[in-house]
Amino acid sequence: MSKVLMKGNEAIGAAAIKAGCKAFFGYPITPQNEIPEYMSREMAKSGGVFVQAESEVAAINMVYGAAGAGVRVMTSSSSPGIALKQEGITYIAGAELPCVIVDVSRGGPGLGSIQPSQGDYFIATRGGGNGDYRHIALAPASIQEAVDLVTEAFDIADYYRNPVFVLADGMIGQMMEPVEFRDMPSRELPEKTWATDGTKNSRKPNIINSLALDPAVLEEHNIKLDKKYQQMEKNEVRVEVFNMEEAEVVLTAYGTTARVAKNAIELLEAEGIKAGLIRPITLWPFPHQAFREIPGTAKAILTVEMSMGQMIDDVKIANEGRLPVHFYGRSGGMCPEPQAIVDKVKEILGGVK
Amino acid sequence: MLNDNRIRVITGSYGTGKTEFSVNYALKMAAAGNKTALVDLDVINLYFRSREKQQELEAAGVRVISSSIKGRGADLPAVSAEAAAPLQDTSWQVVLDVGGDAMGARVLSRYRTYLQPGEYDMFFVVNANRPETATLDGALEQLEAIQRVSQIPVTALVNNTHLVKETTLEDVIRGQALCRQLSEATGLPLRYTSLLETLVPQLKTTEILDGIIFPLSLMMRETWMS
């Protein structure tokens, strides 16, 4: 199929429908409004349902219900709305149900701003819900990648019976880029024998629940969940490593910021400075191995974010104290300029030499 | 080029490149020594609006009018009362950059008094690479919805078929085929074919393209964007 021009939010909606999403529940918030708008127009055409819920809390609980019935389901929101969904997300993770949650993040804290931000790294990787739960967090850096990852997210969710979180900053949601809807490799998925889709008088009723009052039973459940999360850590890490050969400094950034960082790397190259990039595509599980493979030429790591520094904690864990870790960030809805990153790299190298 | 009626209204489905066309148009007008105003009437988009380039535009001599609420982060469909000034004052050459789709065109009906036949041109910008307007039916539906909601007749078409920086001449020519169909169905002339200025040297002859060639320099895309 040839390329079309789409806004990130529309493309995310289109990808979900193509992946077989049959239910969407959401509530308006900028800068993700084009997702529910698109879904409200397109879901019925493909035999799905769209509901504008009365709140984000209602929407995520509708997701809980639809996921329990074995239906491919998605919700989307932006930062403050995602914060509201956290209770539902931990329930869904506890009940081991698949769903896709898209966060088109904006400036915070609180109501913040409507401009792009990466201040939701913590909520995406640590979660805001209670208990020992994890979910994969995918971070696209282009509209094409958003389409590919959202398509795959439904398979990943079904495979692990777990929510999958897609973190797209406001720029990815609002930007227009050429995109192609291609066939993605699909996983072999088990039948949803656990779904509450009617016994048809042929089996015992299935129960969807996240309550286990017996501590021994709950601990067993936690151990089972943890094994699943370990499998995700082993099998689902995605990362792009760019221009790393003989790099003097290693930039690390995800989403929109990685695009800006790549541009900065080109500018540095023109000045004879070799810089590489580690771009986590999964924020959780974090690509630790890529940091172990940083070449000996590297003198420092520079983490670039559209926040006051959230991923930098994971970078420090992955770095295991080998190299000094620096930070450059813009926040509040401001986007870093390539030249500012160039200047920061020069400052770091000046300090190292 | 630019020899249109005093008020130019730029409409179309979102993602067609109305804002790039509007900003480029206003800059060309000002460069030719015209007293030019660009009115950003976009109440649909929150990112990539012409007001973001206010500084650059004003430095080039273009008067920029947008929301009455300052700051680019306001999530409010507010338009400054100043928008009517260059419409009333006939010493101004005006470009109205309208928000996408019929929803964005709704704001236009407020200015209907000033948009009298012979006083204005209303362009319908077409990008055949946008899924909604990739077919004749889709494009017609958008055009009619915009006219119905704004209550203002479109006067000409602009072929601005693109894939941002990946645009090739094949895209432009494919868009032209759609515009010819649209032109036949509506009786509207194709006034401009706008394309990346970097593509213009690839044109062996300008005769293959309909209308006036309008070279575009991308003002709204950051260097790191594709």
Contacts of A4 in chain B (CB under 8 A): 129-131, 134
Residue B30's pLDDT is 97
Domain residue ranges in chain B: 7-69+77-216
Of A44, A48, A55, the closest CA to residue A83 belongs to A55
Among A4, A114, A175, the residue with its CB nearest the CB of B73 is A114
AA identity, residue A8: G
Residue-averaged pLDDT of chain B: 93
Tokens of A121: 């790294």
Are B164 and A176 in contact by the 8 Å Cβ rule? The answer is yes
pLDDT tens profile B160-216: 999 999 999 999 999 999 999 999 999 999 999 999 999 999 988 777 899 999 999
Q: A174 and chain B: CB distance < 8 Å anywhere?
A: yes
Is the Cβ pair B129, A3 closer than 8 Å?
yes
Band (A184; pLDDT cuts 50, 70, 90): confident
Query: Quick check: B130 and A115 CB within 8 A?
Result: no
* Confidence category of residue A1, pLDDT binned at 50, 70, 90: low
Q: B224, A338: Cβ pair inside 8 Å? A: yes
Window 111-170 of B: residues touching A by CB (8 A cutoff) are: 127, 129-131, 134, 162-164, 166
Chain B partners of A335 at a C-beta cutoff of 8 Å? 222
- Domains of chain A (ranges, CATH numbers): 4-235 (3.40.50.970), 240-352 (3.40.50.920)
Domain B7-69+77-216 listed as CATH 3.40.50.300: yes
In whole angstroms, give the CA distance from residue A169 to residue A118.
6
Question: How close A83 comes to chain B (CA, Å)?
Answer: 20
- Note the ipTM here: 0.91
- With CA atoms as reference, the chain B residue closest to A42 would be B132
What is the tens place of the pLDDT at every residue in B45-98? 888 889 889 999 999 999 999 988 876 677 788 899 999 999 999 999 999 999
Chosen for mutation from B13, B19, B47, B220 (greatest number of chain A CBs closer than 10 Å) is B47
Are A294 and A244 in contact by the 8 Å Cβ rule? The answer is: yes
pLDDT of A146: 98
- What is the reported pLDDT for B226? 79
Task: Quote the CA–CA distance of A52 and A37 in Å, as a whole number.
Answer: 10
> Nearest CA of chain A to the CA of B24: how many Å?
19
**For the whole model, what pTM was predicted?**
0.95
Read off the DSSP letter of residue B15: T
**Which of A123-132, A261-270, B45-54, B210-219 has the least mean pLDDT?**
B45-54
Q: Do A333 and B130 touch (CB under 8 A)?
A: no
Q: Other C-beta atoms within 10 Å of A151: how many?
A: 24
CB contact under 8 A, A3 and B47: no
Mean pLDDT of B95-110: 93
Residue for token pair 């009517």:
B84
